[in-house]
Structure 1
Amino acid sequence: MIEFVKTWVSKSEHSANEQDGTLVEVISELLLEAANIDGKIDDKEIEESKHAICSFFDISEGQATKIIQKLHDNAGQKHEFHSLTKQIRDECDYDERMYILSMLWQIVLADDEIDSLESNLMRRLTGLLFVSDIDSAKAKQQAKKRLGLA
């Protein structure tokens, strides 16, 4: 009986870790899309992406680097924003979605300029994540503070 319980708990933990892994990849993919929306990804945007992933998921920088490298290598296999944001909506509460939006703002603001493509992307993601415009503005301010721009 004890072995059955140990096996069951082990399977539950493994399943939870797999779900977390896919959520890490989904959010990381959105961060990389935000970094690349202007046609170029600079080192500052990559570093901010790593930092955001590490702090949100409490993972090491090495793990974040592997995830980003894997997604970068598979860059030709794009997912639609609708499917990515649906998974986030399904697995995250409102405050978590607002924090994710703040991370996205941090990536967009990393080069200290917002072009029209980045602005459009953030408006679309705000709607797709079901975050209000007011809370998106708050998330943008939080990102500016973290970057030392406010």
Structure 2
Amino acid sequence: MISRLVHLLTGQDETSKERRHDRVQLAVAVLLLEMAHADRTFAPLEKKLVNGLLRERFGLDAGQADELIAAAEKKRDESFDLHQFTRLINEHFTLEEKLEVMEGLWRLVYADGELDRYEDALARQLAGLLRLSHRQAISMKLRVLDEVDPERRRR
């Protein structure tokens, strides 16, 4: 009864809200996986990092994160572009949330300690698609670099 009232008042029911939330989770997972695969390897450390980022961001347990990753891998393989995923994120995330996604992407880039040219190009492309300025994207990059290598500024 309550869900029927919600549907009448808002034009959507609880299950459509859940599906929208799942679609946004899937979109974030696809972007993370795209970055993890950008250097043509998907190392166990990167898989662990993707899992951890999704668990932290969406409050998932390990099994739920693994299921999301499996679904995102399938969606990633079926997709021709990233625009559909970034559009969903832009529609549903605040600037702060999009910056968190960008930070997660940079964490994946530096998981192996190196900046691959394909990862760098993809990071720039995704920053633009997420409607982040160059300054905002670089700010997230520097935040990650400061955590990965706190001594780098002293050299």
TM-score, normalised to structure 1, is 0.87
Residues of 2 paired with 1:145 and 1:117: CA distance? Answer: 22
CA displacement 1:80-104 (0-9 Å, x = unmatched): 1122111111111111111111111
Offset of residue 6 of structure 1: 5.0
Change (3 A) 1:25 1:61: same
Amino acid at match of 1:57: F
Partner of 1:64: 65
**Structure 1 segments of 4+ aligned residues over 4 angstroms from their partners:** none
Answer yes or no: is the 8 Å Cα contact 2:3–2:14 preserved in 1. Answer: no
- Extract unaligned runs of 5+ from structure 1: none
Paired residues, number: 146
- In the superposition, relative to structure 1, how do residues 128 and 42 fare at CA in structure 2: closer, same or farther (>3 Å)? same
Deviates more, 1:39-48 or 1:64-73: 64-73
For structure 2, the residue ranges without an aligned partner over 5 or more in a row are: 151-155
Pair 1:5-2:6 in alignment: no
Q: Report deviation, 1:144.
A: 3.5
Quick one: distance in 2 between partners of 1:145 and 1:20? Answer: 32
* Residues 46 and 108, structure 2, Cα contact 8 Å, conserved in 1: yes
- Hey, what does 2:118 align to over in structure 1? 117
Moved more, 96-105 or 135-144: 135-144
1:149 aligns with 2:146: no
Q: Using the alignment, how far apart are the partners of 1:91 and 1:145 within structure 2? A: 29
Which amino acid in the other structure matches residue 49 of structure 1? V
Which string of whole-angstrom CA distances, capped at 9 and with x for unpartnered residues, describes residues 49-79 of structure 1? 0111111111112101111123334553124
Q: 1:128 to 1:73 in 2, by over 3 A?
A: closer
Root-mean-square deviation over aligned CA pairs = 2.0
SS in 1 for 2:13: helix
Question: 2:105 — aligned with what?
Answer: 104
- How much has 1:9 moved relative to structure 2? 4.8
